[in-house]
Each structure stands twice: as C-alpha cells, then as structure tokens.
Amino acid sequence: MDEEAGVGAWQYLRQIPEHFRWRDFVHLTSPAAPVVTVLGYGLGLKRRRLEDDLDGRDPAFVRWAMETTRAVARSWFRWRVEGVEHVPAEGAALLVGNHNGGLMPIDTLLTMAAIEDRLGVERVVRPLAHDLVFYDRAAHRAAIKLGLVRAGHSSAHAVFRRGDLALVYPGSDLDTMRPFRERDRVVLGGRTGFVRLALTAGVPIVPVVSAGTHEQLIILSRGERLARALRLDVWARAKVFPIALGLPWGLFPAFFFYLPLPAQTTLAFGEPIAWPDLRPQDADDPAVVQRCYAEVEARMQAMLDRLSRGRIPWLGQR
C-alpha cells in the first residue's frame, strides 16, 4: 500500500462515527457476527416481518461507503475497472455477477463503487440480498441506508419500476464458496430465475465479472455433504458448509469475517444482453429461458477467461 493511498483510506475510516452507531459498528465488525446471525436465523430467533424500504437509502452514506471502498480497493487490491461505460446511464437494468470471497460482500461494494464513480450517487444500484442480512438489526440498518433490498422477484420489480439498477448473483453460495481451484469458473448453478425476471420485466442484463476477488480468501471445500448433514438448506437456505484458509484464522469455517488477502482485482462490465424478439410470457417457456441462461453464462465465462489469461494468483495479469 503506497503512503498517499493509505492516508486517503484512513481519511474515510475516520468518518465511521458519522455514519454508524458505535454499538452497530462494533457488532458489524465482529468476526463472529455472521455466525451469530446464521444461528439466530436458523433457530428461529429474532423473527420479525421483513419489508423493503426503498425510501431509506441515504445518498450521503452511499457516497461515503463508495469513497471508502475505492480508497481501500485501489491501495490494497490494486483495483482496475473495465467497461463500466456499458452500464446504462438511465432506465432499469439487471446486473448479473459472478460471486466471490465467501461472506464478505467485496464484489458487491466494488460494483457499486465503479458505477457511482462514473454515474454519480444519483444512479441507484440496489443489490438483492439474502434474508440473513435483514434479520440482523445492525446489518439491516446499514443495508437500508446503502439501498439493499431482499432477494426476490417482487423486490426486483419494485426496483425496476423506479428505473433503478438491480444487482444479483445467481450462483449465490455455490459460486462464492467454490473451491480455489475453480476460481476461474463462473458457477451460476443452473439457477434461471434471473432470466425469467429480466424477460418478465423487459430489462437488459449487464454481465459483471471480477477476477482476483476469489483469491482474497482461499476456499478449500464447499462442504456440501456436511451442509446436507446439518440440513442447512432447510433452516439457512444454504447448501454449503465451506472450509477456508485465510487471515487471521488460518484454517476455518468460512462463516466468519476475515482479512482479505491483497490480491490484485479487476472488475469488468460486459455489453448489455437483451432479447427484443421475446415477450414477457416467454419467461414461462423452459426452452427459451434455458437458451437465454446459456447465453449469459457463456458471455460471463468468456469475460472471466479473458481476465484470467496469463494471470498469476495475487499478482494479476502479466
């Protein structure tokens, strides 16, 4: 980390008290916070009615979060961005990304920061997040201010009606917890819901792919057998119990926060994908949906192949 970049990052970190309650910040930065949330969710604790709050987004908070993200990303990850001009400057669209890095939402923050840097805080990006984020009260407050909504078609359609961008990761846990040896693969898991969503809403899909993000944490195994034994799919909507290698824990279950390794990271946006010949009712045709899914997956894999060609882990492309 160069000295100037480090000072810039520290400048934004000093502003944390302006945006968080002290107890919220302590809770959210606790390495065990995700474990406590998962257990509480699974055991049925803290159950309450969850609703989206599209008016709760705080532009000042978003601007600070994005400035902080960029400062840390440029110094720690030697971050590069390609193709952000492909993101529509106005109107609804669906951003579809490959997911990386375990429970840390680094790829989400980088995507938001790249768009905010080009189009300003007024161009609203709304990530669709797992219910777990909203069951934790401190995370819920921060998520609402950042503009997150619950993952689901109804939430996404509400986002589109406002002319905003929705950000989804179809591969979810299968993708973000894929083993390190598969870091150059896009794993959407055959989950076609995002295609049906785009067709029904009549919005284009913008592929978003990152390389290097999956080197920030070394996933050794998804732990799918262990997840089935623990019935995580029933009570936590998860099909994995991943084992990872990372700082500062060494070998650990990847349900804890961690210190990301300083891997060079590149984020790329592809040209929008649209099917003007298709109608909303085509979303009910499995053959059409599968064809569109295959097109998006192939485009994203080609993007990742290009970013990974000649890449040296942690150091970046030669």
Report how far apart, in Å, the C-alpha atoms of 96 and of each of 168, 172, 193, 226 are.
Answer: 5, 11, 11, 29
The band of 38, judged by pLDDT with boundaries at 50, 70 and 90, is low
The rounded distance, in Å, linking the Cα atoms of 275 and 277 is: 5
- 1 pLDDT more than 70: no
Q: Cα 88 to chain center, whole Å?
A: 19
Of the two residues 235 and 253, the one the predictor is more confident about is 253
Average pLDDT over residues 130-145: 84
Find which of 139-148, 186-195, 246-255 is predicted with most confidence, using mean pLDDT.
Answer: 186-195
In 132-288, where do the E strands start and end?
A: 149-150, 165-168, 205-211, 218-221, 243-246, 250-253, 266-269
Long-range contacts from 84-87, C-beta under 8 angstroms, 24+ separation:
84/114, 84/115, 84/117, 84/118, 84/269, 85/118, 85/269, 86/206, 86/269, 86/270, 86/271, 86/272, 87/115, 87/118, 87/119, 87/123, 87/165, 87/206, 87/269
Q: Supply the pLDDT for residue 67.
A: 93
Tokens linked to 167: 């950000």
Tens digits of residue pLDDT in 63-109: 999 999 999 999 999 999 999 999 999 999 999 999 998 888 999 99
Tell me whether strands 316-317 and 243-246 are parallel, antiparallel or unpaired: unpaired
- 7 pLDDT more than 60: no
The rounded distance, in Å, linking the Cα atoms of 306 and 194 is: 24
Q: Cα 159 to chain center, whole Å?
A: 17
- 296 pLDDT more than 80: yes
Q: Supply the pLDDT for residue 318.
A: 78
The rounded distance, in Å, linking the Cα atoms of 93 and 112 is: 14
Q: Cα 256 to chain center, whole Å?
A: 17
Q: Name the DSSP class of 217.
A: S
For the ranges 23-27, 129-133, 266-270, the lowest mean pLDDT is seen at 23-27
Sign, CA dihedral 120-121-127-130, equals positive
SS3 of residue 279 by DSSP:
coil
Average pLDDT over residues 45-70: 85
The rounded distance, in Å, linking the Cα atoms of 2 and 170 is: 36
The model's pTM: 0.90
For the ranges 25-29, 121-125, 286-290, the lowest mean pLDDT is seen at 25-29
